Structure 1
Amino acid sequence: MTVRVVFMGTPDFAVPTLERLLHAEDVQVVGVVTRPDKPKGRSKKPVPSPVKEVAVQHGIPVYQPRTLRTPEAQEPLRAWRPDVIVVAAFGLILPKAVLDIPPYGNLNVHASLLPRWRGAAPIPAAILAGDEETGVTIMLMDEGVDTGPILAQRAEPILPDDTSETLSRRLAYLGADLLMDTLPRWLRGEIQPQPQDERQATYAPMLKKKDGWIDWHRPASYIERQVRAYVPWPTAMTRWKGRVLKILRARAHPHIQPEGIPGTVIPWDKGAAVITGEGVLELQEVQLAGKRALPIHAFLRGARGFIGSLLEGHERTTSDA
């Protein structure tokens, strides 16, 4: 039989799963649900999500609700008569009335090995915590946030230089592969859902811009993970001469501890490093507000007084959210 699928997703992470479903035999993607177009850039022109772009290219009907909590908002989903709903980084909680629509349930592609890192930002959380591996989980959704029973999992190592961007790309394809392995077996009744162990649950809340601010009193190894975890957003940030300085690439040297106040910039090889609460952080690529990203040696050519300066902490205010 041909299975009728409604796909829900929004960012780049969701695209490989949608594309695999679109090209699969015995699968008909009858509709795509994604978040509303978001204003971007100086023009604030609304830009479609990556998932919407793919759906439009393939002539698939697209629905962009702001909520799914009202009967009126749910009606288009019922009209599509899905056998199963597949969700990957959609961005809205599904109420019980939506979960009850498809007879084969709602399968979620989640970018962690549940129950570790439930929530909206599992990839940055895994890098920031120093996890050596993460992975993807296919789970049967319930009313909680990533609390439903597990259908399948696949692990992926976190490499020493991984950022959230590079790791997300790998997990997106891993998740698409695992979903396509799991879906037919689930439809044939070959998988017994496994409940999650609540004692092992950890949480990865949605990132805010203020999370990127660096506290130079922390260990260099932590700040390096912060740099990698927050690429591409919100990026790790500090202040130099009152201007925001983004740290895009860096390397920790935890066993070197020069004299000086945390946040002090010191010469390092042909570049610069920063004294931290434990060790030093070698700067490799930075970006001053309003300027383009530069390797540290190129940045130093135009940054008079950078060596020896004190990078500032930041007073966290509501405007940074």
Structure 2
Amino acid sequence: MSRVRIAFLGTPDLSKQFLEALIKDEHYEVVGVISQPDRPAGRKMILQASPVKSLAESLGIPTLSPETVNTEEIREVVKSWRAEACVVVAFGQILGQKFLDLFPNRVVNIHASLLPHLRGAAPVQRSLMAGETETGVTLQVMVKKLDAGPVLGMRKISVPEEMNAIELFSEMIQKGKELLEVDFMDYLRGNLSASPQNEEHATYAHKIEKSESKVQWSNSAKDIHNLVRGLAMGPQAYGVRQEKNLKIHRTKVSTENLSGAPGTLVQKANQLFVVCGQGVLELIEVQPESKPRMSVEDYLRGRPVESGEKLS
């Protein structure tokens, strides 16, 4: 069988990893790439190409980076690539029906949940914040309605209680690559049919608001632990100590029996605990304002806790 000609749409480093996998796969030939426009980056705000665009250009793959793909001009260029199917991973633009119609039932997307559960912008974060013990990735045929397309395949992932968003995302990338390598190829060969989603079971993972990252110590230790895990990729959970923000990167629900108002800090040797609305949370890794991430042991070395001190 000749290699399937693929158009790829994506922007960040996450997308780049899937593009690399398609390029290496002997069953596919990536014939064109579309990414978001160059954006200012760094202290000097110099225009910078996306990771996907940079990779594609370095390999001589035809590349577009328009403000919108939904123009006749862009569609004509895409047609000239003579692609047979289209893969979309974290592209960052909504595809109009006319674009989807360039590849009838052959525009697919990797989504980081077991659809129809957690459609939307932040499925990884919302899953962890809810304390779910199982999630996964879905390969879906794209339709105009967000994350509502027929499903081609899924891969489930068990989620240990210490796993954070960075670690979960890493595992999802591997499972997603497997979906493109196996399930997508089976679909293109006619050996696999798409299954419609059950709309009655649909839930939504709304975008993370920055205000959510401020820890409410009146919540339970378990809920705060899940918040820290869910926001590990950003914007990071934080509390306020001595009028300065303290980012919290890793925690553990403790079995310590400590008393005090929510937010009360308790230091025991090189360990740091926070009394919560229910239970006690141990801080493992933190990041003081304008400082690098560090272990709590290193943090306490220069910042010992005084009796009765609180995080707000």
Whether TM exceeds 0.5 here: the answer is: yes
State the match for 2:280 in structure 1.
280
- Asked if 1:242 corresponds to 2:243, the answer is yes
Report the equivalent of 1:143.
144
Gaps of 5+ in 2: none
Counterparts of 1:307 and 1:194 in 2: how far apart (Å)? 60
Aligned to 1:262: 262
**Equivalence for 2:81:** 80
**Structure 1 position 153 matched with structure 2 position 154:** yes
SS in 2 for 1:78: helix
Residue of structure 2 in register with 1:165 after alignment? 166
Q: Mark the CA change 1:177 to 1:262 in structure 2 (over 3 Å): closer, same or farther.
A: same
Q: CA RMSD in A?
A: 1.8
Q: 2-side partners of 1:89 and 1:119: how far apart?
A: 12
Asked whether the 8 Å contact 2:238–2:248 carries over to 1, the reply is yes
TM-score by length of 2: 0.93
After superposition, the C-alpha distances for 1:238-286 in whole angstroms (9 at most, x for unaligned) are: 1112211100111112x55532111111123522111111111111111
2:103 match: secondary structure = coil
Map 1:103-252 to 2 at 5 A: 103-252=104-253
| Cα shift at 1:68 | 2.5
Displacement, 1:167?
1.0
- Structure 2 CA distance, aligned partners of 1:300 and 1:146? 45
Q: Using the aligned pairs only, state the percent identity.
A: 37
Distance in structure 2 (CA, Å) of the matches to 1:216 and 1:75: 55
| Counterpart for residue 291 of structure 1 | 291
TM-aligned CA deviation for residue 217 of structure 1: 0.7
Structure 2 CA distance for partners of 1:196 and 1:104, relative to 1, 3 Å: closer
Q: Does 1:69 align with 2:66?
A: no
Partner of 1:36: 37
Indicate conservation of the 8 Å contact 1:104/1:187, yes or no: no
Distance 1:41 1:211, change over 3 A: farther
- How many residue pairs match? The answer is 311
Could you say what secondary structure the match of 1:299 adopts?
helix
Counterpart for residue 56 of structure 1: 57
Which whole-Å deviations, capped at 9, do the CAs of 1:81-121 have from their partners, x for residues lacking one?
32111011212211101100124520111111111111111
Q: Which range moved further: 12-21 or 189-198? A: 12-21
> 3-state SS of the aligned residue for 1:191?
coil
Check conservation: 1:257, 1:278, Cα contact below 8 A: no
> Do the aligned residues in 1 keep the contact of 2:265 with 2:305 (CA within 8 Å)?
no
The question of whether the paired residues in 1 share the 8 Å contact of 2:105 and 2:142 is answered with no
TM-score when normalising by structure 1: 0.91
Q: Tell me which residue corresponds to 2:309.
A: 309
Looking at structure 1, the residues matched to 307 and 172 of structure 2 have their Cα atoms a distance apart, in angstroms, of: 39
3-state SS in 2 of match to 1:159: coil
| Residues 9-46 of structure 1: per-residue CA shift (max 9 Å, x gap) | 12232233212211222422111112223333322233
Q: Which residue identity lines up with residue 284 of structure 1 in the other structure?
A: I
Structure 1 unaligned blocks of 5 or more:
313-321
